[in-house]
Structure 1
Amino acid sequence: MKFTINLHSNEVGGYIERIPFIDEFERVGIDVWINEEGKLIGLPSTLRINDSERTIDIICGNIVFTRCDDEGNTIGLKDEDIELIKRSVQKKSINNSPTHKIE
């Protein structure tokens, strides 16, 4: 399957936004795509992102996980990516390291 902006938009139900600050996924090359207006249009909360002290963001609505090849093309996930995502999402919360501070 070829990944496109339209495919991502359909999956998240609106304009897409890549969120780069989830270290647990960034470290292994997983891209996280969400509906850019998820909070504004009242989509249900899906995942809470925490740093060592507090919740720094809440993702609302569907989430699409992908990776990129060496040329920057969006591609599918590896089996180990899927296992990592399942473990993280089942907790409904991800503890993020403080390397990416969100103000």
Structure 2
Amino acid sequence: MKKLTTLTIIAAMALSAQVSAGPAEKLERLNNRLGAAESRAAWAQGSRADRLEDRIDRREDVLDRREDRRDRAVTRGPRDLAEDRWDRAENRRDRAENRRDRAADLDI
């Protein structure tokens, strides 16, 4: 029993945050990697990879809006409310950044 408990604790600690992250967080991490590659000039604006990044951005925006709706439906105190506001503000900034990026693609 002691060995099983120890193995369970080690396995729980070994779990990465990626596994326990929700769909929006997973897409955000992928998007951050793609954005970093784009900033290093791995591909050009308007290229196929850039369009793929745009599709991921759009999907992430949809998932963020859904998550916002679920979060607003349940409030468990002032900290939860503050976190919901922080997340909504972050999502608005992300959507604005995505719109600027799409506009830059059109200006090529």
If the TM-score is normalised by the length of the shorter chain, which range does it land in?
under 0.3
Instruction: Specify which structure has the higher proportion of helix.
Output: 2
Could you state the TM-score of these two structures normalised by the residue count of structure 1? 0.27
